[in-house]
Structure 1
Amino acid sequence: MHTPSTEARPSIYYTYQVFQPWLASAHPKQDRKKVVIVGSGPAGMVTALELARHGVPSVVLSAELQFSQGSRAICFTRRSMEILQQVGVADRMTAGGLPWRFGNSFYRGQRVFRMEAPHDADDRFFPIINVQQQFMEEYLHDACKANPLIDFRWGNKVNKVDQKDGYAVLEVDTSEGPYALESDWVVAADGGRSGIRTAMNLRMEGASYEGFFVIADIQIDLPYPTERLAFFDPEWNPGNTILMHREPNGIWRVDYQLPPGETPEEALRPESLKTRIDAQLAMIGHAGLKWEMDWSSVYSARTLTLPDFVHGSVIFTGDAAHLLPIFGVRGANTAFQDAQSLGWHLAFVVKGLAGKTLLANHSAERVGAAREIITEAGKSTRFMTPPSRGFRLLRDAVLSLSLTQEFVRPLYHWRTSRPHEYTHSLLNSTGDDNALFKSGPAHGAPPQNVRLGANDFLLDHLGGGFDLLYFTDAPAIPEALQQVIQNARQQGMPLNVIAVGAAQPVAGADKHLLDADGHLRARYGVPASGGAYLLRPDQHVCARWLTLDATRLQAALTTALPQ
């Protein structure tokens, strides 16, 4: 019998709500579900919201009765905010968050590198915004609760998943005992210690790095802007690294590496935490300043991924599918991209619009993304915490040279999380004009946002299906193209047509976007003679043309939605 805690978690700045458990006795009829999502973290809830956006119902199971303890993920990238905009919570994130774009690296009291993340007028969101994870989970949960396609069940712990022929049976434990739940598909979003992954005896590939890091959230008033601060080889923690981030509600995160041999239990003793935090505050000129601890934890850096995310009726996502170091804000931000991808791929299979080849594509794309991140994050991790004497000698040489030599300072760059480009996706058109474009987002790339007005951006008009951006100043989409579009829709394919450049509505287009100064056309590398882009439901590019006819469009649509 599963009895999660009913005592609200402590926090200085966040008031935890304890939700009522969902009990099977109050819902005696349990039909087979389309999708059951195990885990109610960022990956699980975004997957549920994405499925619902495509008309697919799901059940979300949370073993706990409240949101996760502590700030956990705090830095969310621009692409994450674009994904959260699609599921309806970006405005709340923006209202309560702290945006930023600069990072500073210090060595021996000298700033040796300043990172500047790109940001221009075409970006609705800042490169990064800081929001504690509890708030983000609250916003996502409110969106789930408001959606009739999402059945959210608190206090439901999955003990076992038995795969049958084409479906799975879950044993779900509650405070009144277990019940059986059948589902065509199970999404394992149950975190880094995934019980489902362990029970299925699935092994991850990659590396784990020695050493531990402490995360400590403290309430303190420090006179610094919202910028990342990194301190290398400080006197109080020689050879190691300290990171600091401002959070909303007067909270600062202090993130520091432990010396070799110190256990997590030793590191989390109150006297140890106080000594280290006081030393860090003294180093930055604020000795004796009062502070209060909110939450602390210990983590180690790992770069691991499953080689395949789809196993029969079970699909892994988020930390259940891969374990990535937090350097470069890769955890929750990668989970959002996983969930966005999984949402539309799985929805189209559930609705019978595509075969299981589409799920194989999802796995290939997201495993490729995880491996790319592992390569990048490994570089950051080896710089932050050198795994061998050779790496430490190299890192220390960079530190020393950076005091006087400009050319080594970019090595401090933490290689911030960025959206993966599905360059080799199965869904990319093989007969388009991708190779002929001189600029603009290429095959597999995420979209480039473009400001259209004071509070109007291109991405505000995309989503919910495939989008065909057709650049024209003609009064109508050619009849042959309209016929292909109509045939695709009759077969169930959601396909939106946006005419770009026309001053008046265009026949055959669902909407038109004025581009009087040609700025949108320029951002997408489209010449004055016209062109077109086909974007997937996750807005990544799968085809682009300088000239588009009915045959080429039909070929691209067939490729983008394999049966």
Structure 2
Amino acid sequence: MHFPATEPRKSLYYSYNVYPYFHSNQDVVTDEKTVTVVGAGPIGMTTALELAKYGVKVILMSAERQLSEGSRALVYTKRSMEILQFAGAAESIMTKALPWTHGNSIYKAKTVFRMASPTNEHDQFAPLNNLQQNFLEDFLYKQIEKNPNIEMRWGNKVVATEQNGEVVTLQVHTPEGEYTHKTHWLVAADGGRSPIREGMKLWMEGASYEGRFVIADIRIKLDYPTERLAYFSPDWNPGNTILMHREPDSIWRFDYQLDPSIAPEEALKTENLTQAVNDQLKMIGMDHLEWEMDWSTVYSARALTLDNYVYNRIMFVGDAAHLLPIFGVRGANTGFQDAHDLSWKLAGVIQAWAPEKLLESYTFDRVGAAREIIAEAGKSTRFMAPPTEGFRLLRNAVLSLSLEHEFVRPLYHWRTSRPHAYTHSPLNSQNDDNASMNEITENGALIPNFKSENGEFLYDVIAGKFSIVTFTEQTQIDEKLCHEVSLLKSRHIPIQIVAFALNGQNVVGADQTFQITQLEAEQRYFAENGTIYLIRPDHHINGRWIQYSENAILATFEQFISSAQGVVA
């Protein structure tokens, strides 16, 4: 039996609910079109919501009976917000979140590097947005409660998993005992200590670092803007680092590095937490202010990934698939991209417009992304928490030189998480003009967003479908292109035509028309009259042509299907 906590978690700013648990007195057997998602954190919830948007039935299991505790995944990138927009939660999230653009690196009371995240008039969201994870989960859960395609099961702990052919059998413990749940599709979103991953004896590759950090959420009224503050080698914690982030409701998060000689349980003692917070406040001249502790924990910097995310009918997302250092806000933000990539592919397989082999491209695309992030995150982690004496000497030299010399200051750059370009995806068109066009909009990259004069965004229009984006001076879509789209629709492939009109008129035959000037088309999309992009349901470019070529879209989909069947993880 499983007895999750029934007392609401304590918080200075958030009121927790304890939800009724689910139990079945008989075995549960789902149909072939239902997906079971285990783990109701941000990634599990987002996966469930996206699958439901595609019309897929989902059973979502949580071992707990309430939402997570503390700030945890605090910073959400623009790309994550674009994904959460498709999931249906971004608008409510942004009523609470704190957007920001700048990060400061501070050494000996001097700001030695100030990083500015770029912004654009066509951005739908700020580059970075702070919100405690419990609030984020709350907004996601409100969308889940309204969605008839999702069944939520609180208090269900999966203790064993067995896969036999096309059926996965779960043993589920509840406060009333256990029951058996059989599913044809299982998404493991059960976190960094994934019981499903461990039960399957799957091991991650990569590196763990010695650096350990304490997270302390405190309530205090600090009159600072919403910007990241990173203090290197402060007097009270020499050789180490402390980060400060502003959160909603007068909560501030302190992440400070532990001396290797201090055990985590020692660091989390009330007197030691209090001393560390007071020392930091004193250093910034704010020790006269009153504060209260809300939540604390210890984490270690790790950069690890499975080498495969798909095991027949079991798929891994988020921390169950990879563990990434938080430096550069990579953890949850990478997980959202997992959910976004997997959802449309799994929906396509379940709805039979794509072969099951398409799921192997999820591994190809997302393991490639994780490995790229690990390489980037390793650089940041070695600077934030040097793993050896050699790295520490290098970091200390940068700190010292940065006080006087401009040329070393960019070494503080924390390499913020960015969306991965699926440059080598097997799904990319092999018979297009990709090699002859600007590499900024290469196959696999995100197509740039666009805000129309009436405030409508391209991403909202193209999310969830394949989209043929055509730039045209004509008032009507070419009949041959319309015929190609009709043939694809007859195969139940979700596809549409979006026109960028260069002449200021609506385009007959397009599902949606955006007005764009020739200069905007050239500068933003490197497009001219007749240029076409084929976009995947997740905003990534699948193919591109300088000019429309008859049957080019059909040929790409034929290659798309054959590539999916021949993909090698």
Query: Per-residue CA shift, 1:439-474, capped at 9, x if unaligned?
Result: 652110112112212522221211121011011121
Whether the 8 Å CA contact 1:2–1:174 is kept in 2: the answer is: yes
Alignment of 1:497-536 (within 5 A): 497-501=497-501, 503-516=504-517, 518-527=519-528, 529-536=529-536
Offset at residue 521 of structure 1 (A): 4.9
Which secondary structure state, in structure 2, belongs to the residue aligned with residue 191 of structure 1? coil
User: 2:117 and 2:265 mapped to 1: Cα distance?
Assistant: 37
Q: Aligned runs of 1:377-416 on 2, under 5 Å?
A: 377-416=377-416
Code of the aligned partner of 1:13: Y
CA distance in 1, matches of 2:169, 2:28: 15
Instruction: Give structure 1 regions of 4+ aligned residues with deviation exceeding 6 angstroms.
Output: none
Q: Contact (CA 8 Å) 1:187, 1:317: kept in 2 or not?
A: yes
Q: Is the 8 A contact 1:32 1:181 kept in 2?
A: no
Which residue of 1 is the match for residue 472 of structure 2? 472
Q: Distance in 1 between matches of 2:315 and 2:439?
A: 36
The alpha carbon displacement at 1:206 in A equals 0.4
1:113 maps to what in 2?
Answer: 113
Q: Which residue of 1 aligns with 2:63?
A: 63
> In the alignment, residue 224 of structure 2 is paired with which amino acid?
Y
- Cα shift readout 1:160-210 (whole Å, capped 9, x = no counterpart): 111011121111111111111111111110000000111110010001001
Equivalent residues of 2:106, 2:230 under 8 A apart: yes
Give TM-score scaled by structure 2 length: 0.96
How do 1:274-289 and structure 2 match up within 5 A? 274-289=274-289
Asked if 1:291 corresponds to 2:291, the answer is yes
Specify the SS of the correspondent of 2:254: strand
Residue 188 of structure 1 corresponds to which residue in structure 2?
188
Asked if 1 retains the 8 angstrom alpha-carbon contact of 2:27 and 2:181, the reply is: no
After superposition, give the CA deviation of every residue in 1:105-145 in whole Å (9 maximum; x if it has no partner): 01111110000000121112110011111111011111111
CA RMSD for the aligned pairs? 1.4
State the AA in 1 paired with 2:508.
A
Which letter does structure 1 place at the counterpart of 2:89? V
CA contact (8 A) 1:476 1:508 kept: yes
What residue in structure 2 maps to residue 163 of structure 1? 163
**Structure 2 counterpart of 1:76:** 76
Gaps of 5+ in 2: none
Report SS of the residue matched to 2:551. helix
Q: Which moved more, 1:427-436 or 1:318-327?
A: 427-436
Contact 2:205 2:307 in 1 (8 A): yes
Letter in 1 for 2:266: E
* Compared CA separation, residues 463 and 256, structure 1 to 2 (3 A): same
Kept after mapping to 1: 8 A contact 2:45/2:141: yes
Q: Is the 8 A contact 1:349 1:355 kept in 2?
A: yes
* Percent identity (aligned): 52
1:53 maps to which residue?
53
Q: Matched residue of 2:334: which SS?
A: helix
AA of the residue aligned to 2:4: P
Q: Distance in 2 between matches of 1:460 and 1:36?
A: 27
CA 1:188 to 1:275, structure 2 compared with 1: closer, same or farther past 3 Å? same
Q: Distance in 2 between matches of 1:558 and 1:227?
A: 48
Of stretches 268-277 and 348-357 in structure 1, the one that deviates more from structure 2 is: 348-357
Name the SS for the 2:452 alignment partner. strand
8 A contact 1:450–1:520 mirrored in 2: no
Query: 2: distance between equivalents of 1:403 and 1:296?
Result: 33
Confirm or deny that 1:221 pairs with 2:258. no
Q: Aligned residues, how many?
A: 561
CA contact (8 A) 2:449 2:457 kept: yes
CA contact (8 A) 1:156 1:174 kept: yes
Take 1:439 and 1:160, find their aligned partners in 2: how far apart are those partners? 47
Unaligned runs of 5+ in 1: none
**Alignment partner of 1:486 is 2:486:** yes
SS at match of 1:59: strand
SS in 2 for 1:296: strand
Within 1, Cα distance between the matches of 2:448 and 2:438? 15
2: CA distance, partners of 1:402 / 1:511: 52
| Partner residue, 2:331 | 331
Secondary structure in 1 aligned to 2:459?
A: helix
Partner of residue 18, structure 2: 18
